[in-house]
Structure 1
Amino acid sequence: MAELESPKMMPKSITFLSSLLQRVADSNDLHREFQPQKISVFHGLTRPTISIQSYLERIFKYANCSPSCFVVAYVYLDRFAQRQPSLPINSLNVHRLLITSVLVSAKFMDDMYYNNAYYARVGGISTIEMNYLEVDFLFGLGFNLNVTPNTFHTYCSYLQREMMQQPSLNLAESSLNLGRSLKVHLCFNEDETSHQQQQLAV
Structure 2
Amino acid sequence: MSATETQFSSERNQIEDQNQGFKMGEIENPEVMTRVINFLSSLLERVAESNDMNRHFDSLSASSSSSKVSVFHGLTRPNITIQSYLERIFKYANCSPSCFVIAYVYLDRFAQKQPSLPINSFNVHRLLITSVMVAAKFMDDLYYNNAYYAKVGGISTIEMNYLEVDFLFGLSFHLNVTPNTFHTYCSYLQREMLMESPPLNLAESSLSLSRSLKLHCCFNDDDSTHQQQLTV
Tell me which interval the TM-score lies in, with the shorter structure as reference length. 0.7 to 0.9
The number of residues matched between the two structures is 165
Distance 1:28 1:43 in 2: 13
Matched, 1:125 2:158: no
1:24 match: 47
What is the deviation of 1:37? 1.4
User: For residues 145-186 of structure 1, what are the alpha-carbon distances to aligned partners after superposition, in whole Å with 9 as ceiling and x for unaligned?
Assistant: 00011110011111110011145xxxxxxxxxxxxxxxxxxx
RMSD of equivalent CA atoms:
1.6
2:225 match: 192
Q: For 1:79, give the aligned amino acid.
A: R
Matched, 1:82 2:112: yes
What is the deviation of 1:11? 2.3
The answer to which structure, 1 or 2, has the higher relative contact order (CA under 8 A, 6+ apart) is 2
What is the deviation of 1:14? 1.9
Larger radius of gyration: 2
SS at match of 2:168: helix
| Alpha-carbon contact 1:150-1:193 (below 8 Å) kept | no
User: For residues 103-129 of structure 1, what are the alpha-carbon distances to aligned partners after superposition, in whole Å with 9 as ceiling and x for unaligned?
Assistant: 000000000000000000000000000
Distance 1:75 1:52 in 2: 18
2:67 match: 37
1:146 match: 176
Matched, 1:14 2:44: no
Q: For 1:55, give the aligned amino acid.
A: Y
| Alpha-carbon contact 1:72-1:147 (below 8 Å) kept | yes
Matched, 1:67 2:97: yes
Distance 2:179 2:90 in 1: 23
Which runs of no fewer than 5 residues in structure 1 stay unpaired? 1-7, 168-189, 195-202
2:76 match: 46
